[in-house]
Structure 1
Amino acid sequence: MNNNGNTVVVYFSRTGENYAVGKTTVGSTAKVAAEIMQQTGSMGVEIVPVEPYPDAYDQAVAQATEERRNHARPAFVLDGDTAALDTAEMVFLGYPIWWSDMPMPVYTFLESRDWTGRTIVPFCTHEGSGLAGTEETLARVTGARVCDGLELRGELAQHDAASVKQAIETWLKAIV
């Protein structure tokens, strides 16, 4: 895929103790994002919550559950090439699936931008939920055109880079 400066990869990922994969220093979604950046030649932007999630899985779950229950919109900062984000026509958007939904910082990000004329290409990591209907949620929240997404198990993203690479190659050929 030839980027031509019109695409960017934006993602939210969590490190620390994770379900089914143990302790991570690079989040599952971040690993998938890096491979998409490699294959598309796109720049990357990470959504980083101002209040980090705890490293311990149970504590992170408690914080995320409270945020979801309260429909919180946690503050975030963007780390990476934000100029690419401002000009990109196509945004690859990555996130883990938490309780069959996107994490609340992703909603904060989505609601903070004008998506007019843009295309969102979702990708997610999960442990059994797939995309969980988030393609429809993205279209509703942003009004943007949303392409068919890619879903990969976090365990695969953490432990089988060759399979992730192949899955992304196949997916990109299908959506371009």
Structure 2
Amino acid sequence: MDRKSLIAYFSREGNNYVSGNIINLPVGNTEVAATIIQKITESDIFRIESISTYPKDYHETTDVAKKELRESARPELTSEVSNMDSYDVIFLGYPNWWGTMPMAVFTFLESYDFSRKTIVPFCTHEGSGMGHSESDIKKLCQGATVERGLPIKGCNVKGAEKEISKWVERMV
């Protein structure tokens, strides 16, 4: 890859919905996908985390996420990318929460100027695909090129290296 790239992702380990069941994931599905992309691209990596942690219980987390979405909350983040200007391509990863990205990802996107950058979204889900996250990214990041995202079913993410690799090759 000739252009400098960053993988910025939000992921949640712990109780998650996978294939119709609530299971405990030691590593969140989006983090698994981000790690695969990093292995392929050798990009820098940045984890998007909000200062307020989500409840351990899956259903309580979905309630909090729904409330944040309804209120257009912008959770404060634990850290920032100090050299965002040096990146040309941003691989942006997140789980699909209520049809879009977690609100912490909205905070992240509103914290930088992405004009003249390329944003390449990838999303983990259990049946809802990208939702309307791509159009949300376009609204938040006017002046950026937003590529077509890759939806990855969470229950399949550990075996998705070939699919992710093919997608990354088309993007770079």
Q: TM-score, normalised by structure 1?
A: 0.89
> Residues 83 and 41 of structure 1: is their aligned pair in 2 closer, same or farther, counting only changes over 3 Å?
farther
Cα contact 1:45–1:85 (8 A) shared by 2: no
Q: Percent same amino acid among aligned pairs?
A: 38
**Structure 1 position 174 matched with structure 2 position 170:** yes
Residues 5, 42 of structure 1: 8 Å contact kept: no
Matched AA of 2:64: Q
Q: 1:5: how far off?
A: 6.1
Distance 1:52 1:123, change over 3 A: same
Runs of 4+ in 1 over 2 A off after TM superposition: 82-86, 173-176
Any residues of structure 2 matched to 1:69-88 within 5 Å, and which?
69-78=70-79, 82-83=81-82, 85-88=84-87
Residue of structure 2 equivalent to 1:137: 136
* Displacement of 1:87: 1.0
Q: Equivalences for 1:103-114 in 2 at 5 Å?
A: 103-114=102-113
**What does the per-residue CA deviation read over 1:145-176, in whole Å, with 9 as the maximum and x for residues that have no partner?**
1011111011112xxx3x31101111122223
Instruction: Please list every run of 5 or more consecutive structure 1 residues that lacks an aligned counterpart in the other structure.
Output: none
**How far, CA to CA, are the matches of 2:46 and 2:170 in structure 1?**
24
- Extract unaligned runs of 5+ from structure 2: none
What does 1:81-160 correspond to in 2, within 5 Å?
Answer: 82-83=81-82, 85-143=84-142, 144-157=144-157
Distance in 2 between the 1:13 and 1:86 partners?
A: 24
Q: Distance in 1 between matches of 2:51 and 2:3?
A: 29
Aligned residues: 168
**TM-score, normalised by the number of residues in structure 2:** 0.91
RMSD: 1.5
